[in-house]
Amino acid sequence: QKEVEQNSGPLSVPEGAIASLNCTYSDRGSQSFFWYRQYSGKSPELIMFIYSNGDKEDGRFTAQLNKASQYVSLLIRDSQPSDSATYLCAVPPRSGGYNKLIFGAGTRLAVHP
Amino acid sequence: ETGVTQSPTHLIKTRGQQVTLRCSSQSGHNTVSWYQQALGQGPQFIFQYYREEENGRGNFPPRFSGLQFPNYSSELNVNALELDDSALYLCASSTGQSTNYGYTFGSGTRLTVV
């Protein structure tokens, strides 16, 4: 089992729809969870982080965390073509003392007009 | 407050050569982490430097080495370049060793090995 898993996509949604991106992780000791957005040819940009079970909302983005199921998701409401990018889930594992991020391979999102 | 800066932005090297990539950390940050991102994959942890000492290393061979200077800037050196070393190399700075608060990446160095 990979430490952090994401569906590679592409996930295609129409403009204005809700995009739902999912991520599972293997280390139960992980305490924080991050979502990065990466446009083609650019470096990853931190867009959301969550520490506690439940939902965290920031503008059009909502992060959801379920530690019992080892599952974290990102919802993007009112999707825009500018949201088209690869979304990376990242988790600092307890092993190694939380001194690194383990990334999933990313889910490519395409928002079409 | 300046962010993380990396140089050069692009680089083309020949197999077998050596390369040095540079990273200037954000003001007030004492930790630098390096990642390699191959095409179509997520970034992979290379190593972290905290107060000029290596503080954790990923699954990379010894030909990947690094340094951190007293001003907390850092270098990544790769010897005996291989074609598979072609990737985007990312640097991030933070305060302290823990990544539980996440960090911001620099714009990266695109290395192509031919």
**DSSP state, residue A83:** G
Q: How far is CA B20 from CA A99, B50, B80, in A?
A: 23, 19, 12
Radius of gyration of chain B (CA): 13
φ, ψ dihedrals at A83, nearest 5°: -80, -10
Q: What is the pLDDT of residue A98?
A: 79
Q: How far is CA B84 from CA B75, B79, B81, B111, in A?
A: 20, 13, 8, 10
CB A33 within 8 A of CB A72: yes
Query: And the tokens for A94?
Result: 């307890």
Radius of gyration of chain A (CA): 14
pLDDT for residue B55 is more than 60: yes
Q: Which strands make up the sheet holding B5-7, listed edge to edge?
A: B5-7, B19-24, B74-78, B64-68
Contact B41 A42 (CB under 8 A): no
Q: Nearest by CB to B97, which of A45, A99, A104?
A: A99
In 3-state terms, what secondary structure has residue A12? strand
pLDDT for residue B42 is more than 70: yes
Mean residue pLDDT of chain A comes to: 94
CB B85 within 8 A of CB B113: yes
Q: What is the pLDDT of residue B2?
A: 59
pLDDT for residue B1 is more than 70: no
Distance CA B103, CA A46 (A): 8
The average pLDDT across B34-49 equals 96
Low-confidence stretches of chain A (pLDDT beneath 70): 96
- Residues from A contacting B (CB-CB < 8 Å) are 4, 31-32, 34, 42-46, 49, 51, 88, 90, 92, 96-106
Residue numbers in B near A4 (CB within 8 A): 42
Query: And the tokens for B84?
Result: 């598979």
Q: What is the pLDDT of residue A105?
A: 96
Q: What is the pLDDT of residue B100?
A: 74
φ, ψ dihedrals at B84, nearest 5°: -70, -10
Q: DSSP string of chain B?
A: ----EEE-SEEEE-TT--EEEEEEPPTT--EEEEEEE-TTS--EEEEEEETTEEEEE-S--TTEEEEE-TTS-EEEEE-S--GGG-EEEEEEEESSS--TT--EE---EEEEE-
Contact A105 B90 (CB under 8 A): no
Contact B45 A46 (CB under 8 A): no
Query: How does pLDDT run across B77-88, given as a tens digit for each residue?
Result: 999 999 999 999
